[in-house]
């Protein structure tokens, strides 16, 4: 369990280190957060498109694998969300480059987009693990 927690918190740890470094060097420390979180979320989504193989031996057939219907229905949804996340990532990049962009609850839009993509990818990873 700790291993999974470490994996999913690692991008946030890198984000904090980069923020600290940029702050110490007096570089714009807010512009990278949204695109970074979106990219981290995308990296969590890509492994989810591989079907989970069930350990059910089929006599005389070594070249096939078995998976669940739930998993096979989940994979196209993941592909769709990968496509949506790519558009979200590009929007976060655009909004982070823009000097003045929209804000939600005093957070810049690119940071909100990045956090939403990241959180949804964590939820989808959890769901895939339970299928």
Greatest alpha-carbon pair distance for the chain in Å reads: 65
127: closest CA among 66, 40, 68, 85?
Answer: 68
**Which residues have a Cβ under 8 Å from the Cβ of 110 and sit 6 or more positions away?**
31, 33, 34, 35, 91, 92, 93, 95, 96, 101
pLDDT digits (tens, 9 = 90+) for 106-121: 888 888 999 999 999 9
Top-confidence residue, 3 or 118: 118
pLDDT for 117 equals: 94
How far from chain centre, in Å, is Cα 102?
23
Q: Does the pLDDT of residue 44 top 80, yes or no?
A: yes
pLDDT bracket for residue 36 (50, 70, 90): confident
Q: What is the pLDDT of residues 58-106, one digit of tens each?
A: 777 777 777 888 888 999 999 999 999 989 988 888 888 776 667 778 8
Delimit the domains of the chain by residue range.
2-130
Give SS3 for 59: coil
Task: Report the 10 Å Cβ neighbour count for 15.
Answer: 17
- Average pLDDT score over residue span 123-129: 91
């Amino acid at each position: 369990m700790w291993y999974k927690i470490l994996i999913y918190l690692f991008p946030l740890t890198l984000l904090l280190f980069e923020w600290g470094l940029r702050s110490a060097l007096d570089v714009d420390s807010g512009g990278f957060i949204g695109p970074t979180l979106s990219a981290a979320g995308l990296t969590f989504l890509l492994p989810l498109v591989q079907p989970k193989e069930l350990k059910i031996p089929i006599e005389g057939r070594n070249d096939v694998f078995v998976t669940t219907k739930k998993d096979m229905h989940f994979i196209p949804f993941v592909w769709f969300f990968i496509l949506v996340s790519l558009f979200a990532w590009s929007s976060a990049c655009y909004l982070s480059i823009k000097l003045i962009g929209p804000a939600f609850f005093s957070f810049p839009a690119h940071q909100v987009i990045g956090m939403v993509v990241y959180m949804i990818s964590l939820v989808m990873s959890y769901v895939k693990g339970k299928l």
